[in-house]
Chain A
Amino acid sequence: METLVIIGIVNGLIVGGVYALIGMSLTLLYGVLRVVNFAHGEFVIGGSFLAYVLFNTFGIPPLAALPIAAISFFGLGYVAYFLLIPRLARSDDPESMSFLMMYGLSIALAAFMLVLFEADSRSIDYSFTPISMKVGPVYVATARVVALGVTLVVAAGVSAFLFLTLPGKALRAAIMNREAIQIMGVDIVKLSAFAFALATGIAGITGVLVALVFPAFNAFSGPEYAIIGFIVVVLGGLGNPLGALAAGVFYGLAEQLATVFLPQAMAQIVGFALLVGTILVRNAGFGRWRVSR
């Protein structure tokens, strides 16, 4: 039992790290743009497929795929911003149009991946040596330990950017007061494009991690990750990147420990119970930093 709990905690941290990155990128994007990106899960899975293609076609291992995914998805997000978001401004009702548009994008991207990769589940046949490592009393796949390490580096890097650099502070400032940041002379269009690109870049990296941590993925896996991302965003407080990181880890731990203590079917609903609970009890989430409109 004790070993099971330790395994649950280790897995919770690993899986939670992935959720944390998804939540952080989603919450940044929502905070700056006030757009709920329903297609975020597809961007994540796109990163998984990219790692898959890089390995299977070019023999590039997942670790080397990380920077490629980061840069190419950053660029993809930048372009996507200018293709999508300025259209919304011209609508009479940008809020509901953004829901429709991002939902449509989600379906379109899933269909696109379906055409390219068919409906089969994929996984990357890459194995690290040694294949597993001893963490305390338990063995953990090296791929998962590596994923956790990458998660820590990315989370620390993005946090340092957000909290220690002026452009990062400008990004957070835009989340706190979108009008005031424009009065400060900051070009909100450029800043929003950057936020979209950054969130998509993180999604690309997260996709590679998904391929390392989870057994398989397919063209329709996106929504699973997006939904967890939304739960994490709400738990962490809308627009609060550190809150999202904490909430992601918390969610991962809850999910993995639930599989230890609860029957399978119950474990599935833990996440939703958390979401409903948070909304009912504290609608500001973990973070006190609540986005004002």
Chain B
Amino acid sequence: MTNPATDARPVMELRNVSVAYHGDIRILQGLSLAVRPGQITGIIGPNGAGKSTALRTLYGLLKPIEGDVAVDGEVVTGMPPWRFIAKGIALVPQNRSLFNDLSVEDNLRLACWSFRRDKARVNGALERAYAQFPILHERRKQPAGKMSGGQQRFLELGRALALQPRVILLDEPTAMIAPRLSAEIYEFIATLPKQGITVVLVDQNVRQCVRISDHLYVLELGQNKVDGAKQDFAQDEQLRTLIAEWVDYRIDA
């Protein structure tokens, strides 16, 4: 089976990674995971499975006690988080990542830190964020912390996308967003690969995550329970049943 999309070199990888917060309890236990270029890689699993931990490890926010993190096939284990933006990789973490007392616009400007001297590029980034989420333009002078939960999420998404990353890591992107809008956001995320943006999507909204993903990882207790391209899931009745039981969503054959 040759599939150019899956055989291309992964843009990001976890290779046999173990992570512990304090002491010896390993939250991730030898987890391996590959992010294929031009795809949406979905990571699902129950609460506490280690999905966010995996994403934070990919982004250098946590250092593995075993195993490696790789970007473009190159081992970057221990590389600090602030170096990822320069590599074209953006993260929208699960917990709030806004600067509450700074204005919406200042939040966007800080995201442009790595190219802050390039005025034209900064303005382009602001315009893109405002075009994507007009509410951000309306509220640009307001403190970020004074916006509603959903609006704050828009700011976080707009901030990451404004950078035109080639890879974006999203942890529960639609948490706190009303159902109709969140459906729109999934439609939008689904179009990102066509714009050349590789997506890693961690989501409790399993239905949507499975629907738009090209490749799925199902985590359990810090390990990779099962993974595969979605068409493999679709063809394998056993896997389909497993997913259906697991996430209450049937992948169409």
Contacts and interface: CB of A to CB of B under 8 A. Distances in A.
B99 A166 contact: no
A183 B101 contact: no
Interface residues of B, number: 26
A180 B85 CA distance: 12
B98 A186 contact: no
Interface stretch (A102-110, A118-126, A168-176): A168-176
Contacts of B110: 166, 169-170, 173, 181, 184, 186
A170 B82 CA distance: 13
Contact of A176 (B83, B100, B114): B100
Interface in A139-188: 166, 169-170, 172-173, 176-177, 179-188
Interface string B50-89: 0000000001010000000000000000001111111000
A55 interface: no
Nearest to B160: A183
Interface string B91-110: 10100111111100010011
B98 A184 contact: no
A183 B110 CA distance: 10
B99 A172 contact: yes
A188 B85 CA distance: 14
Nearest to B103: A169
A188 B81 CA distance: 9
B198 to A, nearest CB: 18
A177 B111 CA distance: 13
A177 B97 contact: yes
Given A177-B97, A183-B59, A185-B113, A169 B81 contact: no
Contacts of A189: 80
Interface string A69-96: 0000000000000000000000000000
Contacts of A170: 110, 113
Nearest to A180: B97
Interface of A is mostly: helix
A169 B85 contact: no
B102 A173 contact: yes
Contact of B81 (A176, A177, A183): A183
Interface in A177-207: 177, 179-189
B101 A172 contact: yes
Contacts of B207: none
A177 B91 contact: no
Contacts of B90: 183
B121 interface: no
A289 B98 CA distance: 14
A173 B145 CA distance: 12
B113 A176 contact: no
B80 A179 contact: no
A177 B113 contact: no
Contacts of B111: 184-185
B116 interface: yes
B99 A185 contact: no
B102 A172 contact: yes
A182 B99 contact: no
Interface in A232-276: none
B101 A188 contact: no
Given A177-B97, A180-B97, A169 B106 contact: yes
Nearest to B114: A185
A173 B107 CA distance: 9
B253 to A, nearest CB: 40
Contacts of B113: 166, 170, 184-186
Which of B83, B93, B110 has most chain A Cβ within 10 Å? B110
Contacts of A173: 99, 102, 110
A172 B116 CA distance: 17
Nearest to B111: A184
A182 B85 CA distance: 10
A185 B163 CA distance: 11
A183 B98 contact: no
Q: Which 3 A-B pairs have the closest CB atoms?
A: A185-B85, A180-B97, A185-B114
29 contacts: A166-B110, A169-B110, A172-B99, A172-B101, A172-B102, A173-B99, A176-B100, A176-B101, A177-B98, A177-B99, A179-B61, A179-B97, A180-B93, A180-B96, A180-B98, A181-B110, A182-B81, A183-B81, A184-B82, A184-B85, A184-B113, A185-B83, A185-B86, A185-B111, A185-B114, A186-B82, A186-B110, A186-B113, A188-B80
